[in-house]
Amino acid sequence: MTDSENGRRLHAVDDALLRRREAISDLGDALRLLIEHATATEAPTEELRRAAERIRQAAAPLGERARGRHEPPSADDMRAGVRLYNPVTGAGSAFAPPLEIHQEGEITVGACTLGLAFEGPPSYAHGGVSAMLLDQMLGYAAGASGNPGMTVRLDTGYRRPVPLLTPLRLTAEVVDVDGRRVTVAGSIATAAEPGEILVAATGVFVGLRAEQARRLFGAIAGRGEESRAG
């Protein structure tokens, strides 16, 4: 094969991967819409039965070729941090709001809006959902500081309930690095009142030693060296 042919082939592979990632995101959007409608619906009971049947029909062809627990999704790239099915941030995840995270200097900033499917106390987010968002924020901040690790502690303080269907602003910042041990603090507020903290958390993340990573992830097909937490 000439260099030029090789280049075209690589390019075609990349195009196929990009198209697959777009399709996974689009399927994620459809799933999130379906879940929000299914949670909020007051449609007649027979309509719920019909929807369940249609959903089983849509699910069947997807179940025909499935990966197992130790096979990462073919569209992911763990070394590059592409995790399409992450249940907090993944564009392909039905559970993810999805939380959008970016770095502003030393500060990690997140944004999302929680639908009715995240409800705990009436009209507010489930307390566990706030913990889940903060675990992701704090883990991201640890990684962004060059100290990726697995969560070993997550201490969450709830000051006021987190409203549903309201744009939220989350922040996280590394407060201490002690060898492989990183401490991160973060919070949830509404985007409208970013100074009024609703939930605050402190997390401790520890980078894995090579031998721990082998023990925990040795069974993962084609795994990278990364040890990012979830």
Residues between 110 and 139 with contacts to its own copies, criterion CB under 8 A: 116-129, 131-136, 139
Q: Please check whether residue 148 is in contact with residue 227, taking contact to mean a CB–CB distance below 8 angstroms.
A: yes
When binding is defined by CB under 8 A, the residue of 158, 169, 183, 197 that contacts its own copies is 158
Contact partners, residue 203, CB within 8 Å, separation at least 6? 134, 135, 138, 139, 142, 151, 153, 154, 155, 183, 184, 185, 186
- Asked if 186 touches its own copies (CB under 8 A), the answer is no
Q: Does 24 bind its own copies (CB under 8 A)?
A: yes
Figure out which of the listed residues 20, 81, 169, 194 binds its own copies, where binding follows CB under 8 A. 20
Residues 162-181 binding its own copies (CB under 8 A) are: 163-165
* Residue 37 in the binding site for its own copies (CB under 8 A): yes
Considering beta carbons, is residue 6 or 55 the nearer one to its own copies? Answer: 55
Alpha-carbon span 148 to 184, nearest angstrom:
11
Residue 229 sits at the vertex; the CA angle it makes with 128 and 113, to the nearest 5 degrees, is: 40
Q: Which is nearer to its own copies, 72 or 194 (CB)?
A: 72
Per CB under 8 A, 82 contacts its own copies: no
195 binds its own copies (CB under 8 A): no
Closer to its own copies by Cβ: residue 6 or 157: 157
Our finding on whether 26 is near its own copies (CB under 8 A) is yes
Q: Which of 10, 13, 48, 192 binds its own copies (CB under 8 A)?
A: 48
Q: Which amino acid would we find at residue 6? A: N
Question: What is the closest distance, in whole angstroms, from the C-beta atom of residue 159 to its own copies in the complex?
Answer: 8
Region from 2-10, 21-29, 103-111, 188-196 binding its own copies, contact rule CB under 8 A: 21-29
Q: Are 109 and 169 in contact (CB under 8 A)?
A: yes
Tell me whether residue 215 is exposed, middle or buried, using C-beta atoms within 10 angstroms of its C-beta: 0 to 12, 13 to 18, 19 or more: exposed
CA distances for 153 relative to 71, 131, 156, 172, 181, angstroms = 28, 11, 10, 15, 11
228 binds its own copies (CB under 8 A): yes
